[in-house]
Amino acid sequence: MSLRRTKIVATIGPASSSPEVLEQLILAGMDVARLNFSHGNADEHRARAVLIREIAARLNCHVALLGDLQGPKIRIARFIDKKIELQAGDPFCFSITHPRDAGNQQVVCIDYPDLVTDCRVGDELLLDDGRIVMQVERVSADALHCLVLVGGPLSDHKGINRRGGGLTAPALTEKDKQDIRLAAELDLDYLAVSFPRDAADMHLARRLCQEAQCNSWLVAKIERAEAVMNDEALDGLISASDAVMVARGDLAVEIGDAELVGIQKKIIAAARKQNKAVITATQMMESMIHSPMPTRAEVSDVANAALDYTDAVMLSAETAAGEYPVQAVAAMARVCLGAEKNPIMRRSGHRIGQQFERWDESIALAAMYTANHFPGVKAIIALTESGYTPLVMSRIRSPMPIYAFTSSPQTQARVALFRGVYTIPFDPSAIANSTVSQAAVEELVKRGIVETGDWVILTKGDSYHTVGGTNTMKLLHVGHILS
């Protein structure tokens, strides 16, 4: 059976919180479980985190936990009747003084007062991920007076974006700061930061994490027009993060959906170049909220992201609130495996002609070059403390499975996000130094991954508990005496 290299992130919600469904999701292929802090309360997230870890341990799987901060999503308040229907040509008003629960056909309160000062006459506002479009006709001291260009249903708490971006909302709110403390308590592997504009927002998130003693790796959600305005802005944001997410909902609304596919490819390539993991997200199999089968367009979208060499593809409402959460994960797994058969997945020009920055990076890339060019290599073993060496290895296009051998439970879970990387719990410090290589290879033989006559590449450092210490690569012949 072929191993799937593209990883799957599934959002956990009301449709997927029971032990039975969580177990089925893991068995269907969920590698990372997303806890969306925009919905649910702290106790629900606590219970889900505990349950996922318990079930994964019982199934002998490693599932990473990703917390997703709500961020400063600019939303409308509520309507008297929960919902209105707008027609093109209707006047509509966003007011900061209107009662919060008394929205009607003409006006609704907004939860973000600065929207009035941020906007100018002629600006286009997009609501509910771009389904409704309005133009600002007049700005008063406490309201934006608009004309509806594209109508439709509008209900409570829907989000607002301005075409072209540029709203001044700070990236981290008071709620986010509470949720960072929750992430520390739950020892989450990853924490996604919503709506960062630039590197400074990610530096602030990192400082707040340090203060809360939260060790999560930080994922920058790229969803503001400012973040992709130019190469310098994008590279700075990626550099300040441990991983990135192409958050296509708000991003498409701000930059226009016609630009999105090109920008998606650009973000994935830029993240990989900086040795960062990357998740592609939003509406990947949206029709599966109500259908047991994806559309051809959705299959194409997921396959396209896999061919772009994203680390992971993500499901949101499909698994959180949909009618077919397990089928959605299974469909995604099937499509990724199909895409990975394409010969393009075996060719790489990554970092050729460029200098390497670190010695562990040099060893990692040398191992991948050897794996892709030396016949008979069937697997790569990376003895790793932090997971950095297998992360760098997985930036190279290759059909070769990379096994992260580590004794750290945190690293075992964290590498579940990395493309083509799989965990094997292993403590080299518990084994005599002269037999570590032999014991590592035997672990692969025992699992049926390699057999006598195969070649295995092994990377390690002189000390097994030093982060960034990988300085050795070995080519080992299975069945021969190894040292």
pLDDT digits (tens, 9 = 90+) for 27-39: 999 999 999 999 9
Give the amino acid at 368: M
Burial class of residue 147 in the structure, from the number of CB atoms within 10 Å of its CB (0-12 exposed, 13-18 middle, 19+ buried): middle
Listed range (74-78, 80-84, 403-407, 458-462) with the worst mean pLDDT: 458-462
- Cα(265)–Cα(247) distance, rounded to whole angstroms? 13
169-206 pLDDT, tens digit each: 888 999 999 999 999 999 999 999 999 999 999 999 99
Residue with tokens 């629960």: 101
The first and second tokens of residue 364, run together, are: 């990692």
Indicate whether 467 pLDDT > 80.
Answer: no
**For the chain, give me the number of helices (H) and strands (E)?**
15, 21
Rounded to two decimals, the pTM is 0.93
Burial class of residue 236 in the structure, from the number of CB atoms within 10 Å of its CB (0-12 exposed, 13-18 middle, 19+ buried): middle
Residue, of 385 and 324, whose pLDDT is higher: 324
Residue 308: band (very low, low, confident or very high) from pLDDT cuts 50, 70, 90: very high
Residue 334: band (very low, low, confident or very high) from pLDDT cuts 50, 70, 90: very high
Indicate whether 294 pLDDT > 90.
Answer: yes
143-168 pLDDT, tens digit each: 999 999 999 999 998 999 999 988 88
Cα–chain-centroid distance for residue 279?
4
Pairing of β 32-36 and β 64-68: parallel
User: Which of 159, 175, 59, 58 lies closest to 115 in space, CA to CA?
Assistant: 159
Indicate whether 110 pLDDT > 90.
Answer: yes
